[in-house]
Amino acid sequence: MAKYRKLGRTSSQRKALLRNQVTALLNNGKIVTTETKAKEIRKIAEHLIALAVKERDSFEEVTVKAKVARKDKDGKRVKEVVDGKKVTVYDEVDKKIKKDLPGRLHARRQMLKVLYPVKEVPAAQAGRKKNTKQVDLVAKLFDEIAPKYENRHGGYTRIIKIGQRKGDAAMMVQIELV
């Protein structure tokens, strides 16, 4: 028996399809697809969630000094004239950052191999390029999804049968995060 379903596609098409659907599942929480695709998506998604649960607390908080531009009351950068040139004024600030330990860093890179970058477009400003923002799905996995499943050993997804598709009678299902 094969280790995976081929889904009638070449390997590159199949990998792209599964990566896209896993990304959509983790971003939205549930998707509708065919039963065979859902069974393949489940394997990948559960592996990523298990990685996130395992390495959830594997970081240390570090305080670093950072240069931040000084801003006026309107939120614009303060400029100062030095040697006839306008130069932005910077202040040194202490910032706390999360530094990944080696296991979490490896898990993060494994997740980035599978997940596509996602851009979120607000409904009010649809079509505007400057209002889109990048969604960090790996951070969402570690910060939102993993804490929900910390006491659960597997079974992070659920497949619910919807019925047959009208065109080709393929069994349609909804796969969702439990």
Alpha carbon distance, N-terminus to C-terminus of the chain = 29
The residue count of the chain comes to 178
Residues 171/34, Cβ–Cβ less than 8 Å: yes
Report residue 31's pLDDT band, with 50, 70 and 90 as the boundaries: very high
- This model's pTM is above 0.85: no
pLDDT in tens, 111-168: 999 999 998 887 776 666 777 889 999 999 999 999 999 999 999 999 999 999 999 9
